[in-house]
Amino acid sequence: MKKILHTSLIAVLPMGYAWADTVSNFTNDKNGLCAPFAVSQSILYAGSFTTGSFADGYKLDDVFWSVVSVNVFDAVGIQAGATFQVQLWGADGLGNPKTPPLETLSGPSKPKVSGGTLAPGIMDYKSAGSFLKPNTTYWVSATVIGGNDLRVRLERTNLSDEKSNPAGWTIGNTSYILDTSDVSIPDPVITKDSSCLPYLTIVATPVPEPSTVALLGLTGAGLLLLARRRK
């Protein structure tokens, strides 16, 4: 199995993340107990996270997935043109992903052989700024849409530890699998797995409190006035 280096991800995040909150389980050791999970047009795979306690909530910035392999198939009966999709979901009363999804994130979706940038490694999916409530659970999912010629294998861990900076965020201890491959049954097969979890990193920015925004505005106005007086 291809091993992907995770431990330095937080350290190399761009400077723009200096004020962001980050929770990640990428630092969990690899031990081979959880094989990579393959998503396809008929398989959706999701992991959850719970936000911190910042009173005014957060703006989601990025979701990082660890991709082990990207395979494209060409054979009779294959519908070509599939793409990889990452979405954000709320949680329903049972703690499962709540439909409809809150957002489809942007990022690598087409494999390199199809002219895209999806490849093995740490893939970054950007949010348009979805609002996250404090102390609230959300789900992020990965699947394939628009064809059955693509399989994407995602790295998993059996360890439930995570690193939260600042403290207070967590990554859920259960993964969620939705399988629609059996066309003989009307409803999808749903499985919740607590033995293997997706490797995830979530980055979000605290929403400034109104008093903070006002203070920043006064500070900016004061600096502008001072600069004018010096001229």
The yes-or-no verdict on residue 85 having pLDDT over 60 is yes
The whole-number pLDDT of residue 101 equals: 98
The whole-number pLDDT of residue 106 equals: 98
Residue 69 lies in a domain: yes
The yes-or-no verdict on residue 174 having pLDDT over 70 is yes
H or E element, residue 43: strand 43-50
Residue 147 lies in a domain: yes
The whole-number pLDDT of residue 231 equals: 56
Residue 3 lies in a domain: no
Q: What value does the mean pLDDT take over residues 118-137?
A: 98
CB atoms within 10 A of CB 51: 23
Residue 45 lies in a domain: yes
Domain assignment of residue 222, given as a range: 10-230
Residue 4 lies in a domain: no
The whole-number pLDDT of residue 221 equals: 43
Q: Among the listed ranges 38-52, 131-145, 184-198, 206-220, which one has the minimum average pLDDT value?
A: 206-220
**CB-CB contact of 207 with 34 (8 Å):** no
Q: What value does the mean pLDDT take over residues 39-65?
A: 97
pTM, entire model: 0.85
Q: How many domains does the chain have?
A: 1
Residue 94 lies in a domain: yes
The whole-number pLDDT of residue 19 equals: 79
Residue 56 lies in a domain: yes
Q: Residue 211: which region, alpha, beta or left (left: phi > 0; alpha: psi -120 to 50)?
A: alpha
pLDDT band with cut points at 50, 70 and 90 for residue 13? low
For the chain, the average pLDDT equals: 87
The yes-or-no verdict on residue 216 having pLDDT over 80 is no
Structure tokens at 174: 């259960």
The whole-number pLDDT of residue 44 equals: 98
Q: What value does the mean pLDDT take over residues 190-213?
A: 85
Tokens 């999912």, residue located:
141
